[in-house]
Structure 1
Amino acid sequence: MTAKPTAGQSILETVKTIVYALLIAGVFRTLFFQPFWIPSGSMKETLFIGDFLFVNKMAYGYSYASCPSVRIGAIGLNIDAEDICGFLDSDNSRLLGSDPERGDVVVFRHPVSGTDYIKRLIGLPGDKIQMKEGVLFINGEAVGLEDAGNFEEAMAPQGPQRSYPRCENQPVGQGGTCLKSRQIETLPGGNKHVILNIGRQTSDHTGVFHVPEGHFFFMGDNRDNSSDSRLAQTAGGVGFVPLENLIGRADRIMFSSSGRSMLFFWTWRSDRYFKGIN
């Protein structure tokens, strides 16, 4: 006859199960895939606010940035990746590393704030990057551009921050149609992707950026609504991103919510399930 477990034993077993589950989840997130929810419109139309995806951490190997950060403001929990794996943050190298390719959509840690960003990889080590009249130049050559009509979206609050889109046809009233110029950009190597423009601004005219060895240059596809490597870190931008700050490559959207929370399943976009990221 088997002895019936006591209440204390049952609680202990439950705690052990939870701890084991958290450990397994932590190992899985550290080594293989990290969930990421798109918080801003800087990568439209490639990525929308509310897209939920998993970042492939195996793509570029591992560094201190591969360890997860755990931030839960409601209970004051703030454990940074450096707190766990800071001992690896030293020589800008990676374990089992593979070189990222120009055109990859990459999640990385901001070199100063430690916040996770997602942008497109534009400049490789040694490259010279410049914007002239809104056109991207890489090593003195203009990238291929093809006009592709307009990108349209409703002038309505988006995501948990309830932010409104910026439009080329401003002013646009609530519920109206917000337009942005749409082009197909072709990078050296053949990567093709959509970029959006609102109008000429400072970030469309820059000096030449010389990408240092061991660093990368990133830009958002929504060119006039992106804080990226065109701005220095001291000016609210990203600047050059070290190799060790790369977290992984974004390959596929799992699902997408147009509402305030990804838990609001009735707001999920039916056309974005398992959509590949180009």
Structure 2
Amino acid sequence: MGEVRNGFVETVKTIVYALLIAGVFRTIFFQPFWIPSGSMKETLLIGDFVFVNKMSYGYSYASCPSLKLPGFGINIDAEDICGWMRGDNSRILGSEPERGDVVVFRHPVTGDDFIKRLIGLPGDRIQVTDGRLIINDVPVEVKDDGIFAETFSPQGPQGSTPMCANGVVGLGATCEKQRFVETLPGGVSHKILNVGNQSLDNTGVFVVPEKHYFFMGDNRDNSTDSRVQQTAGGVGFVPYENLIGRADRIMFSSAGRSMLYFWTWRGDRFFKAIE
């Protein structure tokens, strides 16, 4: 009996140690993130599985992991664990993000994880006019890059359908959007999508506050981002301490309703660099 009992204790200890190591690894180094929406198409597709480099910008309360399993009554937030670090909008071993980075951050109000592209740095003047991004009163360079086409069908676990520039199409039909290559100040080039004239194609001027950042989705007409302020249900300006890390690479991608459906994995997106 003693051997059986000792074997059980050792097994429990091994599991506990493994969970602790995994928790430390996730807290300090990398955090997995599954793309749930189409706001970053075509850079990131629904079902892309990425690892976020949490060492990129140093550490804050947002670096602590959250564990939310509603079915089991578990709702542990990063602020529950590391809320003592929040308040002065600073970071430990902090470094500044660069314009054009694809960043995962905590929504300033809801605490939900978002992933967007960093467009505006502290002190920048940001505006969108007729769909054209203007930074510090200078329109960014944009070049036509043809058409982005996908099948009009429910995507991901939420079953959302894409917006189409070619009008209302039926299930299984081709959904098209205009595609452009946008080059930001500093030289980062990336693809953006356009559906047509939308409400956020024309904005006022946003002046980014000190130690805050302005984010936009690459799928410009289907993105909840900093163009809408927090009081109106948007993201608004994101504090420095809310940054979680930089997304550098897609590990794999599932076109199905779950990342476990390996037969729906996209063969061209394994270990794909994020631009």
Which category of TM-score, normalised to the shorter sequence, fits these structures?
A: over 0.9
> Runs of at least 4 residues of structure 1 off by over 6 A?
none
Distance 1:197 1:7 in 2: 64
State which of 254, 258, 261 in structure 2 corresponds to 1:261: 258
> Structure 1 residue 75: deviation in Å?
0.2
Look up the equivalent residue of 1:93 and give its one-letter code: S
Residue identity opposite 1:162 in structure 2: G
The answer on 1:277 being equivalent to 2:257 is no
Matched, 1:170 2:167: yes
TM-score, length-normalised on structure 2? Answer: 0.99
Distance 1:103 1:189 in 2: 9
Please list every run of 5 or more consecutive structure 1 residues that lacks an aligned counterpart in the other structure: none
Counterpart Cα distance in 2 of 1:13 and 1:234 = 52
Counterpart position of 1:217: 214
- Tell me the distance in 2 between the aligned counterparts of 1:100 and 1:122: 11
2:157 counterpart SS class:
coil
Q: Which residue is equivalent to 1:98?
A: 95
Out of 227, 231, 234, the residue aligned to residue 230 of structure 1 is: 227
Supply the RMSD in Å over aligned alpha carbons: 0.8
Q: Which SS does the other structure have where 2:105 is aligned?
A: strand
Q: For residues 64 and 273 of structure 1, what CA distance do their matches in structure 2 show?
A: 31
- More moved, 231-240 vs 137-146: 231-240
Which whole-Å CA distance do the structure 2 matches of 1:247 and 1:231 have between them?
Answer: 21
1:246 maps to which of 238, 243, 257: 243
Q: In the TM superposition, what whole-angstrom CA distance separates every residue of 1:205-261 from its partner, at most 9, and x where no partner exists?
A: 000001000000000000000000000112221000000000000000000000011
Q: Residue 187 of structure 2 is aligned with which of 187, 190, 205?
A: 190
For the residues of structure 1 that align with 2:24 and 2:64, how far apart are their CA atoms? 9
1:147 counterpart (141, 144, 147):
144
Q: Percent identity?
A: 71
**Secondary structure of the corresponding residue to residue 6 of structure 1:** helix
Partner residue of 1:203? 200
The structural deviation recorded for 1:52 is 0.3
- Which amino acid counterpart does residue 201 of structure 1 have in structure 2? Q
Q: Which amino acid counterpart does residue 187 of structure 1 have in structure 2?
A: L
Quick one: distance in 1 between partners of 2:237 and 2:196? 25
Q: Deviation at 1:157?
A: 1.0
Decide which of 181, 199, 212 is 2:178's aligned counterpart: 181
1:105-154 CA deviation, whole Å, 9 max, x = no partner?
00000000000000000000000000000000000000000011110000
Amino acid at match of 1:62: Y
C-alpha displacement of 1:5 = 4.2
Unaligned stretches of 5+ residues in structure 2: none
Secondary structure of the 1:180 match is strand
In structure 1, what residue type is equivalent to 2:194?
N
Task: After TM superposition, give the deviation of residue 170 of structure 1 in Å.
Answer: 1.6
Alpha-carbon distance, 1:70 to partner: 0.6
Q: Distance in 1 between matches of 2:135 and 2:233?
A: 23
Per-residue deviation, residues 159-211 of structure 1 (Å, max 9, x unmatched): 11111111011210111000001000000000000000101111010000010
Instruction: Give the Cα–Cα distance (whole angstroms) in 2 for the partners of residues 21 and 276 of structure 1.
Output: 29
Q: CA deviation at 1:7?
A: 3.1
Aligned-partner SS, 1:86: helix
- Give the distance between the partners of 1:14 and 1:78, measured in 2 at CA: 27
Q: For 1:175 and 1:181, how far apart are their aligned partners in 2?
A: 19
Offset at residue 9 of structure 1 (A): 2.4
1:40 maps to 2:37: yes
